Structure 1
Amino acid sequence: MNIFDKITYLQEKSHGYHAIRATTQLRYAYRISEVNDFKYNDIVLKAADVLLGDLNINGSITKNAAKECEDILSVLSEEAKKYTMICIAHAHIDMNWMWSYNETVAITLDTFRTMLKMLREYPQFTFSQSQASTYKIVEKHDPEMFEEIKEMVKMGRWEVTASTWVEGDKNMTSGESQARHILYTKKYFKEKFGIPFDSILLDYEPDTFGHNAQVPEILEKGGIKYYYHCRGSESHCIYNWKSPSGASVLVFREPDWYNTIITYDYADYLPSFCKKHGIDRLIRVYGVGDHGGGPTRRDIERLIDMSTWPCYAKIEFGSYRTFFEYLETKRENFPTVEGELNFVFTGCYSSESRIKMANRMAEDSLNTAETLTALANAFANGKPYTKGYTKAWIKTLFNHFHDILPGSGIRETREHALAYLQEVLGYTYAGRSKSLIAFAESIDTSSIKTEDDKESFADGAGMGFKGVAQQNSALVRGLETQIVNTGCGKTRIFHIFNTTAYDRSEALEFPIWDYPGKLEKLEIKDADGNDVPFYISKGGGGFWAHTCVNITAFVTVPAFGYITLIAREGESKHLPYIMYFWNPRVEYYQDFVLENDRIVARFDRSMQLVSLVDKKTNKEMINEKSGFFSLCWQNHKLPTVTTGNAWVEGYVLKEQNINENYPVFVTEMNNGNDIRKYICYEMDFGKSKISVTVSLDRTSSVLKYKVDADWHEIFTNEEGIPALKFLLPFGFEVDEYEYEIAFGTVKRSAHNHDVPSIGFGAVHDKESNRSLILMTDSIYAYRGENNSFSLTLLRASQSPDMYPEYGMHSYNIGIGICDKDEYFRYSDTFNYPLYFITNTSHKGSLPLKNSFISTSKNIAVSTLKTSEDENGFIVRVFDISKNGGMAFIQINADFEVTAVDNLERPIDKEVSRDGSRVLVNLSPCETIALKVTLNKGVV
């Protein structure tokens, strides 16, 4: 037998403590020899032969032989202990994975109680724990235990490794969400534990399913220097990860795994790993996990015992911080990695679509509400709502856990996530309505005479009303409510608010409650007395003793501003003829065409898009049938390591074009209205049904699909996983597809699987120098291949949730034609609605129309929020040109401005002024936050 066979044979025959101790050190001694050009092989063979001889004589390895072996190997003790194994105890606690929230509470409390017991019993033992959510659970449900943990943290025995509220998804959460994870987590530990912001330096993400390219940028701006992960890469284990802006974090990718128990061969690869990376120490993360647990008494006892072995690694109970600080001293020796770390578990981009809808609704609702509150505080004597928004954010962040948002949980996981959404929307409604009311009270409407009708029935109408919804809104889910009506009489005042950084001209639908005038004489004017085009749209009717009529008007609203509309009864424009009968005289079969001054879209009788022409260039953007839905069945018997098909996206077994294979019924059509043209159709297929409204607004280059799916397809072992898709083949060649990620975009080559996007996918036609953009309000699963886009709208996996998609679903999909620098403009105006509030006639300090803030075209705004100290507001922007350069933010007020990080601390970043413009020079794809404090209001 050679040296390898001898060591292997002896370990196989090792039974009992002394034999295992001896053969483990024998194996480690070989590893020491291996990294020293095998110079110690003779010693290893000598020790091995002692054990082999004893085994041959006695049939087992005796204690005496084991002692003799150890004595021989002890000459290598100094060499063996040049390498240190830093053992870090950890308990991986999944939030609501295969269990409900009450069980998450139980396993958190039980795990922490056990760890406190171990810490008291073993003075050398240390413990590290991530996720602010776990600490919050203890604070809420066991305050006494919480105080014990705080004491252990002060003593340095318990390491807080949480810089995020949960170990969350990094591909489907917005950049703003990822920034808020760090902000609210650091604030929590500073408030509750007295831990300074600069002492929390690690983002610990052991099980996250991939990592977007902007993570280093987000972490650096949040004061995070280090990153720990397991998934998303198979290359380097220690590296510098750099974002396009140049921001960088030091990364350790776990070479083993984070859920381990202590075995005697725990240090086996330590010498070779250390030699390869030019280091002399390595962390080993141990502890039972997923369902909590942490290290056991056996783990601790083994480590204490193994630390006394002469020919074994030096063993320490340690921390992540000390390890990363050590790596920092050798940072220049490690390679640099750029770009995203993907893909894994691609099925999770589509699993549990309701949870994904909930996340987009929460993020978007918080964005618009915080914007309105920040503007109202600054310009309309509004009040902060910081505590309410913080509570809403915490619930939103909880749902980012890497088994919740990705949809790899059970029914109870989904139910809890959706319940949290309802609470979030309660907070955002409260904050948004307070801010809109503050504006309504501050806007001077005294020039508009309204009636003071003591018999009015309209005041208070529409409480909780959600029947009228902006067609382009991500918040149309039967959950978002509108603010109560305050006007009455025949003259009504409406203020329309734009919470985006872009001037907008579009169709807006809103209700007029209990109108006593004649609708045929209704007219709408803007603040300058100009006629506003409108029509009375369908819907409306009764609502809790009140009635409303729905108005669709074409409005123009400036960036971060508002306008005023006046609806009143006007004079008759003509004397109508009296007609007693109306009957059709000639039947017309219309072509299915939606056209305005920007684009023309033609559909065949199956409502497939057969032509989409950009009038700016006369370019035909498609060359085959497009814009259709498909029903496919995916393979569920893939030979993968993961059996649950929520994670694994199987290849297509068969696929049907629903538009071609099932009857398509056009139920309504309006292509003569200049404000909004639309076609409604529906299709029954299998046990399910889709209802679709395709619309095109005046001056818009976006076809909007409002999709309602009544889904009843389920998994069967015979057919596989049913999925509903939307396909968009286009008519030009591309070699890359661009997708929205946190604080930017990423370009990817074609993939034959779904990839994540948080808002849109886009392709550029070099010939016409125009782009085709595909936008959604709640879909994350995109695929670009073969000059085509597809969206996975629903994927009815059956494990671990048996029926994740059964029932009603709604989506908004947009197909637009634009320039390359307009992607974020199109996406933001598609997803963020215009808001409105009614008003009465009164004095005020604000004009009837206003724009408070505007920006240059090379940046996008991530947030406009009240600062955490409530002394000003924060504007966070990011470079979208990918070239960097000078950007400006114009603020129409007298103000002071300071550059801050994502924790809202001043940073050394040059900010200059040109009158009301703030000028800042950005690196490519860089984010920057500015804190603005007003001196005396609007100029």
Structure 2
Amino acid sequence: MHDDRDLVEQRLRRVLDERIRPAVYGAAVPLTPERWDAPGEPVPVAEALAAPYRPAEVGERWGPAWGTSWFRLTGRVPAEWAGLRVEARVDLGFDRRLAGFQCEGLVHRPDGTVVKGLHPQNDWVPVARAARGGEEVAFLVEAAANPTLAEPRPTVLGDRLTAPEEPLYRLVRAELAVFEAEVWELVADLEVVGSLLAELSTDDARRFELVRAVEAALDAVDLADVAGSAPAARAQLAGVLSAPAHASAHRLSAVGHAHIDSAWLWPLRETVRKVARTTANVVALLEESDELVFAMSQAQQLDWLKEHRPELFERVRRRIAEGGFVPVGGMWVESDTNMVGGEAMARQFVYGKRFFLEEFGIETEEVWLPDSFGYTAALPQLVKLSGSRWFLTQKISWSRTNAFPHHTFWWEGIDGTRVFTHFPPIDTYNSDLSGRELAHAARNYREKGRGTRSLVPFGFGDGGGGPTREMLARARRTRDLEGSPRVAIERPAEFFAKAHEEYPHAPVWVGELYLELHRGTYTSQAKTKQGNRHSESLLREAELWAATAALRVPGYAYPYAELERIWKTVLLHQFHDILPGSSIAWVHREARETYARLRAELLGLVDAAQRALTGPGQDTVVFNAAPHERDGVPAGGAARRPAGARPPVAVTERADGGYLLDNGLLRVAVDGRGLLVSAVDLASGREAVAPGLAGNLLQLHPDFPNAWDAWDLDEFYRNRVRDLVAVESLELVEPDAGDEGAATVRVTRAFGASRVVQLVVLRPGARVVEFDTHLDWRESEQVLKAAFPLDVKADESAAETQFGHVNRPTHTNTSWEAAKFEICAHRWLRVAEPGYGVAVVNDSTYGHDVTRDVRPDGGQTTTVRLSLLRAPRYPDPETDQGEHRLRFGLVPGAELADAVREGHRINLPERAVPGGAEVAPLVEVVEPGGEGSLVVSAVKLADDGGGDLVVRLYESGGRRATGRLRVDLPLVGVAVTDLLERPLADEPALEVTEGSVAVSLRPFQILTLRLSHRG
């Protein structure tokens, strides 16, 4: 049979584009526009209602980058349109290809209430389903002139401080028009049939049926009277659209969705407006159709809606109660999961789930992270402890090397917890439900023969307006259609329950879900990452000392409100385009300012609590917030430290102009180049640095990835390297105040347009040599690494992750290992052979790489490198330019417990305050043999204000651990709780004896205890 499908498809495209789609709207009359340009930042609607508007015209230019113009549109429905459906059409200057990445609008009634959003694919406003004729029409449109930044090139448009004042857009249309419903339905019929036949194979009889039906429908269209002939054309398609799907057809659970990045190519304040525009669209669509189910994650975004658009929030609340609008996710934002600290990751669930519970009475069970850049192996346990059951993501489909082998599976975390997980095979979280996408989902699904269903999130994201009525029309037609998967719009929980029921023994994936892409996000925007790490550490301190003061000092009030506000701000900035460093300059400028403000606030809270605890006095009391004893100061307590308690570090000059530093535990050699050529652990006599090589070697690589500048670090960057060994000066200097007896070597280097000053520090009694690195970074499209070639035969590395660590092979036997050429670690990374290990610790660095090499002498060198700074130019052309201080250290002879201890030490500094009293720890962990495997993560008062003490601890070494938690309070009882501090019914009672609680943890287990007490 002759295959004339291509000719029919060509005919269909032209007739649709040139005749039928333009006929969806019939007669039209112009609206009269007036305009007011808001000065500076956006204003409340009440201010815009009272503003002085001036006459405007269709065709005039508006909107400098990031500006806001308000358009007042007025008109009258013609009398002859009585009984017809009338809509307003407003085109702000849209590029139809870029929904969500350009100008947007929010339509209001004259009283200021919200109607709906305006977007490139959703530019209509309802006026009347059946017009009376002659009625007055008036709308107010808040138009946002967001610049188009989707093209990956350096631009000054990424910050309002650098953007020019020239207008970016032109008002293209403002009119009333008759909506021709039958023509609109014909468009939907033809789109579905046409996209379906395009996906069928050449020998499928169904395809030829569709071809003939399309031909007949197009023959029935009178091009001079499309509206009048639309019913006849639709009749020709009725038969093929009513043929039922095959019994084995793949089943798609379609969920309305509008992924909104909480910041990315726009600032946080614009996300507030994007949320309003999108939710307004969704509510308007729900009011038109009861078919839609819309899922929205990120409690922060709904909280913004509550604060800034309370009337719209109440409409959303009503739709949630009715079931069409479905909160999902259970996190404060869709955060990064690689770099977020353990306690902060827990608080993402605490504040997210609590918001949904308190505002809507809903216990969300789906963890919804479609777009984050890889997923920590600690996450399954946190999902379970939050009271959630399911996990969904999409991003792993972006991996460039290995195709992930499953779409539905059990994901097992570092502690053994498993969570039922789904990757939608449609490979997008912004589906438009086209035939091409539906067919791809069915073909791509990897569980064929075992499972039958997958999930598809549909709707335009990032301010594109979410689901549309056109998408609902496609879903309606593909509900039961031969040749197509069966599409059912339903709640995510319904999908997960059905998928779990039909495939309970799905395969298991163990360990992290590593994204083989976007590896540069571990390093880009170093100050944002540093602000996050320091804020996490300060929050630990503030809660610990505030809880101690509240339970011991009469009159001291625990700062509940301040801590919650600060936590939520930190959690917001962990969003997966802020913390990873992939947002525009404006976002990171504000992040730096925010972190500076939070630091001052948190230091104030810490200082107030410490001074309340020590009382008046002239002695110096040293506070230790780390979970381990330090130089005579107990963990979580404070003590006096006498001067000269430890002998100073011995310093000897070397013949090459360098120095030998010896504190009795480590003997460290810095050569005349300022490089670490030896680090001997004196207890074992073992040399940590590989023979003939040098540590603390700064290395510079070109860094120009194939795409996604701020996101990607492509492996070929390693092909060229420059070792920075030239020295401007090398000298022994006096240590900083508080570093009595320490030896400090200052090394100064210059390279390119940059300069680095390093302080190599060995302290009395320390088992770590520190590198306090001050950089004036002025390079472009370069990456700076710090290398430590170690005399260790390590088959794997252990990198700290949330509440434990993850082991990764150092070899590249398979493509899976080779793809992990850049990895994430938190406070420490350790490599070891049996009996000996070395750790590298840091105070704010996340990107690392670990390689291995066999030397001519047969020994193995394992090289650990930290990624210190990058300099991508998109989306922020000035990424990381300027001054930085980065601290890292080498720990020879480190066991796992040593790595954990030193990682905390470099991140949680001791604090000395004047006072008259030492402070005993509020809680203390005691382990038989002192293994140091049990670590306290948080000490705080219960969030409900009842006064109970909450202690979270975890097992850090990957082994079983037992011990006792001593509590300096008159204990009444103890309960094991979930992350939200709710008792867990299936947990056995814990033994409480003489002020302590017996605990036993499995490897990497997280244990949250709620301790009630007298007084």
TM tier relative to shorter chain: 0.7 to 0.9
Q: Higher relative contact order by CA 8 Å / sep ≥ 6: 1 or 2?
A: 1
Identify the range of structure 1 (139-148 vs 308-317) with the bigger mean alpha-carbon deviation. 308-317
Matches within 5 A, 1:409-558: 409-441=583-615, 492-505=618-631, 556-558=632-634
AA matched with 2:624: N
- Matched residue, 2:954: 878
Identify the range of structure 1 (253-262 vs 848-857) with the bigger mean alpha-carbon deviation. 848-857
Report how far residue 899 of structure 1 moved. 1.0
Report how far residue 437 of structure 1 moved. 2.5
Report how far residue 419 of structure 1 moved. 2.4
- Matched residue, 1:117: 284
- Matched residue, 1:246: 416
Say which SS state the counterpart of residue 206 (structure 2) adopts. Answer: helix
Say which SS state the counterpart of residue 939 (structure 2) adopts. Answer: strand
Match of 2:1008 among 912, 929, 935: 929
What residue ranges of structure 1 are gaps of 5+ in the alignment? Answer: 32-40, 442-485, 506-555, 569-585, 716-720, 841-845
- Residues 675-729 of structure 1 show CA distances to partners (whole Å, capped at 9, x for unaligned) of 212212211222211111111111111001111111122x2xxxxx222221111
**In the aligned structure 2, how far is the partner of 1:567 from the partner of 1:244?**
44
Say which SS state the counterpart of residue 332 (structure 1) adopts. Answer: coil
- Matched residue, 2:459: 287
- Matched residue, 1:336: 508
1:296 aligns with 2:460: no
Q: Is the 1:646–1:799 Cα contact (8 Å) retained in structure 2?
A: no
Change (3 A) 1:596 1:78: closer
**In the aligned structure 2, how far is the partner of 1:73 from the partner of 1:298?**
16
Report how far residue 132 of structure 1 moved. 1.1
- Matched residue, 1:142: 309
**In the aligned structure 2, how far is the partner of 1:899 from the partner of 1:142?**
39
- Matched residue, 2:343: 176
Matches within 5 A, 1:180-195: 180-195=347-362
Q: Is the 1:561–1:853 Cα contact (8 Å) retained in structure 2?
A: no
**In the aligned structure 2, how far is the partner of 1:286 from the partner of 1:850?**
53
Q: Is the 1:852–1:891 Cα contact (8 Å) retained in structure 2?
A: yes
- Matched residue, 1:663: 728
**In the aligned structure 2, how far is the partner of 1:110 from the partner of 1:92?**
13
AA matched with 2:982: R
1:644 aligns with 2:682: no
- Matched residue, 2:406: 236
**In the aligned structure 1, how far is the partner of 2:285 from the partner of 2:215?**
42
Say which SS state the counterpart of residue 666 (structure 1) adopts. Answer: strand
- Residues 553-599 of structure 1 show CA distances to partners (whole Å, capped at 9, x for unaligned) of xxx2012221135899xxxxxxxxxxxxxxxxx99997501111111
- Matched residue, 2:581: 407
**In the aligned structure 2, how far is the partner of 1:625 from the partner of 1:102?**
50
- Matched residue, 2:982: 905
- Matched residue, 2:367: 203
Change (3 A) 1:49 1:866: closer
AA matched with 1:760: W
Report how far residue 321 of structure 1 moved. 1.6
- Matched residue, 1:155: 322
- Residues 580-635 of structure 1 show CA distances to partners (whole Å, capped at 9, x for unaligned) of xxxxxx99997501111111001110111111111111111112332234342324
**In the aligned structure 2, how far is the partner of 1:113 from the partner of 1:914?**
57
- Matched residue, 1:593: 660
The alignment of Structure 1 onto Structure 2 pairs a total of residues equal to: 788
Identify the range of structure 1 (82-91 vs 743-752) with the bigger mean alpha-carbon deviation. 82-91
1:854 aligns with 2:932: no
**In the aligned structure 2, how far is the partner of 1:200 from the partner of 1:918?**
32
- Matched residue, 1:735: 795
Matches within 5 A, 1:743-762: 743-750=803-810, 753-762=821-830
Match of 2:869 among 794, 813, 824: 794
Report how far residue 799 of structure 1 moved. 1.0
Q: Is the 1:606–1:664 Cα contact (8 Å) retained in structure 2?
A: no
- Matched residue, 1:823: 899
Change (3 A) 1:19 1:239: same
Change (3 A) 1:594 1:851: farther
Identify the range of structure 1 (147-156 vs 56-65) with the bigger mean alpha-carbon deviation. 56-65
- Matched residue, 2:878: 803
- Residues 722-747 of structure 1 show CA distances to partners (whole Å, capped at 9, x for unaligned) of 22221111112211111011111111
Q: Is the 2:439–2:485 Cα contact (8 Å) retained in structure 1?
A: no
Identify the range of structure 1 (799-808 vs 894-903) with the bigger mean alpha-carbon deviation. 894-903
- Matched residue, 2:552: 379
AA matched with 1:411: A
**In the aligned structure 2, how far is the partner of 1:58 from the partner of 1:898?**
73
- Matched residue, 1:226: 390
Q: Is the 2:545–2:609 Cα contact (8 Å) retained in structure 1?
A: yes
Report how far residue 426 of structure 1 moved. 3.8
Q: CA RMSD in A?
A: 3.3
**In the aligned structure 1, how far is the partner of 2:654 from the partner of 2:983?**
70
- Matched residue, 1:356: 529
Report how far residue 810 of structure 1 moved. 0.2
Match of 2:720 among 654, 662, 665: 654
1:391 aligns with 2:530: no
**In the aligned structure 2, how far is the partner of 1:290 from the partner of 1:359?**
24
Report how far residue 65 of structure 1 moved. 10
Q: Is the 2:803–2:954 Cα contact (8 Å) retained in structure 1?
A: yes
Q: Is the 2:221–2:233 Cα contact (8 Å) retained in structure 1?
A: no
- Residues 881-902 of structure 1 show CA distances to partners (whole Å, capped at 9, x for unaligned) of 3122434322244313211111
Q: Is the 2:8–2:211 Cα contact (8 Å) retained in structure 1?
A: no
Q: Is the 2:792–2:831 Cα contact (8 Å) retained in structure 1?
A: no
1:166 aligns with 2:333: yes
What residue ranges of structure 2 are gaps of 5+ in the alignment? Answer: 17-186, 224-228, 398-403, 645-652, 811-817, 853-861
AA matched with 1:112: T
**In the aligned structure 1, how far is the partner of 2:606 from the partner of 2:497?**
44
Q: Is the 1:30–1:44 Cα contact (8 Å) retained in structure 2?
A: no
Report how far residue 500 of structure 1 moved. 2.1
Change (3 A) 1:171 1:588: closer
Say which SS state the counterpart of residue 798 (structure 1) adopts. Answer: coil
Matches within 5 A, 1:567-606: 591-606=658-673
What TM-score results when the alignment is normalised by the length of structure 2?
0.72
Change (3 A) 1:629 1:11: same
Q: Is the 1:631–1:722 Cα contact (8 Å) retained in structure 2?
A: no
Change (3 A) 1:126 1:493: same
Report how far residue 69 of structure 1 moved. 7.9
Report how far residue 789 of structure 1 moved. 0.7
Q: Is the 1:73–1:311 Cα contact (8 Å) retained in structure 2?
A: no
**In the aligned structure 1, how far is the partner of 2:897 from the partner of 2:774?**
31
AA matched with 1:788: T
- Matched residue, 2:676: 609
Say which SS state the counterpart of residue 246 (structure 2) adopts. Answer: helix
**In the aligned structure 1, how far is the partner of 2:974 from the partner of 2:846?**
36
Q: Is the 2:250–2:442 Cα contact (8 Å) retained in structure 1?
A: yes
**In the aligned structure 2, how far is the partner of 1:422 from the partner of 1:706?**
20
- Residues 30-78 of structure 1 show CA distances to partners (whole Å, capped at 9, x for unaligned) of 79xxxxxxxxx8853773685699799999999999967864785x516
**In the aligned structure 1, how far is the partner of 2:440 from the partner of 2:238?**
20
Say which SS state the counterpart of residue 288 (structure 1) adopts. Answer: coil
Change (3 A) 1:806 1:111: same
Q: Is the 1:165–1:397 Cα contact (8 Å) retained in structure 2?
A: yes
Change (3 A) 1:9 1:644: farther
- Matched residue, 1:783: 849
